[in-house]
Amino acid sequence: MHQLPRRSPPKIYVAGHRGMVGSAIMRQLVASGFPAERIVTRTHAELDLANQADVRAFFAAEKPDQVYMAAAKVGGIHANNTYPAEFIYANLMVQANIIDAAFQQGVKKLLFLGSSCIYPKLAAQPMQEEALLTGTLEPTNEPYAIAKIAGIKLCESYNRQYGLSHGVDYRSVMPTNLYGPGDNYHPDNAHVIPGLIRRFHEAKLDQAPSVVVWGSGTPRREFLFVDDMAAACVYVMNLAKAALDQHVQPMCSHINVGFGSDVTIRELAHLVARTTGYTGQIVFDPSKPDGTPRKLMDSARLNALGWQARVELADGLAMAYEDFLHTTTLATTRSA
């Protein structure tokens, strides 16, 4: 009996493979049995994604079948306030270059990763996908948010114009606050979980009697382990289009990816202290800003599509702390 030739696995380009999310997507693909040799990557030194000609040449040479867009210029409040022009320009250029080059080379499937900051500052909680473009953005990261919104609309526009004629199927996912392996533990510009991990670890080594945490401790935040986010990305990328289309609209097609519940900053601080083994006092400074009272994503759309987060916060923090110990020289330099 004549057998049809076996189809080789698709060639997948992971943009931003060295970042926290991109590296987690790489781990997820390999762990699921996808052959590593079919994954294409480039470092920033090898390919400047803000350079249109270079991106077009890369896609023409490699001809990937699928693209995960985890590349972005990111930073905290200080960086966003200090370099707003760089944040909006770099992210707009990277997104436009990759999405159009992918289309020009016949890429049918692409996944764009956005951010929860796309939603209005005063969006109703939990934040639903339909809240997009219904109000004013948080001023401190508006340029970055505008770029991410543009990325969503680029995907939707290519789908609307070329979906039927060219089979284009470009999707977008919006993660909540992420943490885990590959995080940024810099003392000045780390996000809340890696920042607390570093501070409590240092306090333990110094035998400090107390650690001061900014704010009242009452704001609520949602946190998702980065490997859960990677699993959601691969899940959404491989969903049948017919199933996806039952839950999205052509001009509201992005999908929230959250854990499903939140904790207070006070609860988080005590969890991190226990994780790092710090036994001193935790003091909250209400004279410092709290920020938004609550930021919780509504992940009902993704849950209805069959995906749910798995890693509980306590378990994720333990893995994040282990990563911190492996990726910093802090412990060895202080004991030397």
* Residues forming the active site: 144
Contact of 173 with 113, CB cutoff 8 Å: yes
Alpha carbon 293 to its chain centroid, in Å, reads: 22
3-state SS class at 131: helix
Of 42, 150, 142, nearest to 100 by C-alpha is: 150
3-state secondary structure 74-95: CCCHHHHHHCHHHHHHHHHHHH
31 in Cβ contact with 57 (< 8 Å): no
| 99's tokens | 């999405």
8 Å CB contact between 61 and 110: no
Is 224 exposed, middle or buried, given 0-12, 13-18 or 19+ CB atoms closer than 10 A?
Answer: buried
Separation between Cα atoms, residue 153 and residue 163, nearest integer Å: 14
DSSP state letters, 254-292: -EEE--S--EEHHHHHHHHHHHHT--SEEEEETTS----
